[in-house]
Amino acid sequence: MAYQVLARKWRPSNFTQLVGQEHVSQSLIHALQNDRLHHAYLFTGTRGVGKTTVARILAKAINCENLKDFNPCGECAVCRDFEQGRFMDLIEVDAASRTKVEDTRDLLDNVQYAPNQGRYKIYLIDEVHMLSGHSFNALLKTLEEPPAHVKFLLATTDPHKIPVTVLSRCLQFNLKRLLPEQINQQLQFILEQEAISFEATALKMIARAADGSLRDALSLLDQAIVYGSGQVNTEAVTGMLGSVAQQPIHEVLEALATGDTQTLLNKIASLAELTPDYADILQQVLQVLHRVAINQQSAQFTDAEFDADLISYLAKNISPEDVQLYYQIGLIGLRDLALAPDPRSGFEMVMLRMLVFRPHPQSSTQSKPQSKLTPVKTNSATVIKPTAPAIAAEQPQITHATESNQWPAIISAINISGRTKELANNCVLDNIDGNTCRLLLDPKFQQVGTKAEENLKAALEKYYGKSLKLVISTQATPQITPALEIQQARENQQQNAVDAINTDPNINSLKESFGARIMPGSIEPIN
């Protein structure tokens, strides 16, 4: 016999053989058990998940002469004719090539006639969304009042293009994208049955590259077998998929963990010599970060696909908060990579964002500046009040190291608002030397006028209890301004809200049971 590709050879012939679509197969089996078959079914889902396959199995089951556990027996005359493509009562149409209304009318001309071989005449229309508006109108009349001996099985990758009048007359099933683990398990089973040697890492790479489509995975597997001269090995699959070996990715992540910008850029330059797919590289980075996050929460959870030593090293040298931040930046960068002037610069900017937006360690000392305050004891309490101006020699200088970290607390204490507070939040305290207070203003912040400076000066004089000269210099500083701290706190709060939704068991249950999805940008933290 001529060679048959794996996608056709291992195509499921009954409900039991379906992979990852148990919610559909169970519903159809129950309908067969209770003899409650709808006259029209619509199967939706992305390519290669089994829409047409499920439709064919259902068509065979409702005509099978000897169902076994409500699965087609595969032995009766009907099943044999189905397998050999000789069953006359199955009219299978590709709507993409027959979009005209005349084609639909010709197709439905024989609807009123009884079936020739089986109990039901089956109309299986693939990619039904490709029909024209007039064709849908012609089909709608038959769907409204179908003969008892006719069943319609429709399949589509885009149900939104089907008129609601047609959708309302169909029983709809949404087939899910398969998980990489499900695809990997099926590939292993097939290769074991075919007696073909393989490497587990190679199969995992194929399962991820298939992007939820088992048919795509089997096509890639066929290609990998040819590429590897009858074997499926990691080196051959890496070359076939055009993926970059993991070692350069590991070096990039190690540079990220140490915060070494120069080394990071050098590693990216080395990657550029391999002419890689930067979107694929960024996906690999995200996969490793995902594994690092899991390791930080459960070190016992291991995966042979990843280098255990690298994961352990990254888990110890990158804080859990930074891992979450890097992952979020990477996800957004992956989405926007196509908008970059070129893929390499886009990838470099994503990695640099991870370094730039990483929070800097803050001093734990948040007490009020005690050098300018004197405790006064009363009968009931201890009151802190400012010390009156004294001789200049007796006034200790407040240095950059001790007072600058208290600037956010000072802003809260001096009771300012509006533009004055906005100005203060975009400054850091350089030092207070005698009667001069020096602030460094973020160069990105545009000055809001002298009135704000005057109000800030007056508030500081009231706080310190003496006359001050306020000097504001526009200058970059390694310290984070209070405005940036507030922004980072908001981003962290938003990320915590997103993580809480994504890990909520009720939300995940809705996703799995009904194919629900979270609308981007719809999650907001509760203040």
* 464-510 pLDDT tens trace: 888 889 888 888 877 788 888 888 888 888 888 888 888 888 888 78
**Percentage of residues of the chain with pLDDT beyond 90:** 28
Fold of 398-514: GMP Synthetase; Chain A, domain 3 (3.30.300)
pLDDT for 118 equals 85
pLDDT at 13 exceeding the cut of 60: yes
Question: Which regions of the chain carry the CATH code 1.20.272.10?
Answer: 246-356
Higher-scoring residue by pLDDT: 372, 444: 444
Question: Which regions of the chain carry the CATH code 3.40.50.300?
Answer: 6-174
CATH number of 246-356: 1.20.272.10
**Percentage of residues of the chain with pLDDT beyond 70:** 88
3-class secondary structure, 170: coil
Section 71-91 average pLDDT:
88
DSSP type of residue 154? E
| Helix (H) or strand (E) run with residue 288 in it | helix 278-297
Q: How far is residue 140 from each of residues 131, 164, 315, 372, measured CA to CA in Å?
A: 12, 11, 59, 85
3-class secondary structure, 298: coil
pLDDT band at 441 (very low <50, low <70, confident <90, very high): confident
Share the mean pLDDT of the chain: 83
pLDDT at 398 exceeding the cut of 70: no
pLDDT for 274 equals 72
Fold of 180-241: Helicase, Ruva Protein; domain 3 (1.10.8)
Question: Which regions of the chain carry the CATH code 3.30.300.150?
Answer: 398-514
pLDDT for 464 equals 86
Higher-scoring residue by pLDDT: 527, 76: 76
- How many other CB atoms are found less than 10 A from the CB of residue 157? 17
Higher-scoring residue by pLDDT: 114, 390: 114
Nearest to 136 by CA among 102, 163, 172, 107: 163
Q: Which structure tokens are listed for 255? A: 């540079």
- How many other CB atoms are found less than 10 A from the CB of residue 516? 11
Q: pLDDT by residue (tens digit) across 207-233?
A: 888 888 999 999 999 999 998 888 898
pLDDT at 190 exceeding the cut of 70: yes
Section 89-104 average pLDDT:
82
Q: Please report the DSSP string for 459-509 in residue order.
A: HHHHHHTS--EEEEEE---SSPPHHHHHHHHHHHHHHHHHHHHHT-HHHHH
pTM greater than 0.85 (yes/no) = no
Question: Which regions of the chain carry the CATH code 1.10.8.60?
Answer: 180-241
Q: pLDDT by residue (tens digit) across 379-389?
A: 433 344 444 34
Q: How far is residue 211 from each of residues 220, 283, 350, 429, measured CA to CA in Å?
A: 11, 12, 23, 52
- List the beta bridge partners of residue 94: 126
- List the beta bridge partners of residue 172: 42
pLDDT for 194 equals 92
Q: Kindly state which CATH superfamily the domain 6-174 is placed in.
A: P-loop containing nucleotide triphosphate hydrolases (3.40.50.300)
Q: Which of 124-128, 362-366, 467-471 has the lowest mean pLDDT?
A: 362-366
Section 453-460 average pLDDT:
89
Q: Please report the DSSP string for 313-378 in residue order.
A: HHHHHS-HHHHHHHHHHHHHHHHHGGGSSSHHHHHHHHHHHHHHTSPPPPPS-----GGGEEEEE-
DSSP type of residue 131? S
Q: Which structure tokens are listed for 20? A: 């990852």
Q: Which of 173-182, 482-491, 512-521 has the lowest mean pLDDT?
A: 512-521
Q: Which of 35-49, 124-138, 202-216, 292-306 has the lowest mean pLDDT?
A: 292-306
- Cα separation, 140 vs 379, in Å, equals 90
pLDDT for 379 equals 40
- Which are the contacts of 287, defined by CB distance < 8 A and separation ≥ 6? 208, 306
pLDDT band at 447 (very low <50, low <70, confident <90, very high): low
